[in-house]
Amino acid sequence: MRAWLPAVLLAALLCGLSVGMPVLEPLFQWVQPDKQRVIYERESFVFLLQNHLLLVVVSAAVGTIVAVAGGIFATRPFGRDFLPLVSQVASIGQTFPPVAVLALVVPVLGFGEAPILLALILYGLLPILRNTLAGLEGINPSVREAALGMGMSPVQVLIRVELPLAGRVILAGIRTSVTINIATAAIGSTIGARTLGDPVIAGLVNGNTAYVLQGAVLIGLLALMTDSLFEAIERTWDSAWFKATQHLRTEKPR
């Protein structure tokens, strides 16, 4: 339970600030004494947080499915010839700045959430794909051979042996991808998407440092909470894996 405590505390702080930001008005008035309004009120912070989180979760889900599927395909015997191509395609998504992707996609998809969602998916592919390839390629071939020798089909080997063994590495790639995209999603506010970048953009346009701080603090807390959540999941994964291997080691042969 201790592993989950930082994530829970950060989540409580994030929710508390999202709801109770007006309580801190005297503090922001001190930061920006020359402005009459120092609390961003165009949209509620709760709504912006929900929308921001939704964009990140959807993009992470789609990106994970595509990247893991690509990694599995490239590590199968019938797909190894495509391994360089798969890596290059994912690298293109990482080398293109999100702003450039938005500039190319907005004329087609219009303003709103769709362009930034596509940009987040492309931008988050590489860390997940790279770790999927590393995790699957790092499995000892003798483990696969032993599983096949036990009568497992290739699909069973993949689901019951390879993915669990590579899961820790794949999860680390997802963690990196999601953390990056939490900050990147804020750019969507420049094209009409409702994210925690709204107060940041509004503050920069109007010269209001208080607005910028409010958006930046919430984005930072969301990133820290998410990173702590993944760390707790990884620790839980390691603990479960250790117990499973200990059970196998101590089990007496019949």
**pLDDT tens by residue, 122-138:** 888 888 998 998 899 88
Do the beta carbons of residue 77 and residue 144 sit within 8 Å? no
- What percentage of the chain exceeds 70 in pLDDT? 91
226-235 tens-digit pLDDT: 999 999 888 8
- Domain at 12-242, CATH from 3.30.500.10, 3.10.20.30, 1.10.3720.10, 3.40.50.1360: 1.10.3720.10
DSSP readout, 56-118? Answer: HHHHHHHHHHHHHHHHHHHHSTTTGGGHHHHHHHHHHHHHS-HHHHHHHHHHHH-SSHHHHHH
User: Domain limits of the chain?
Assistant: 12-242
**What pLDDT sits at residue 94?**
67
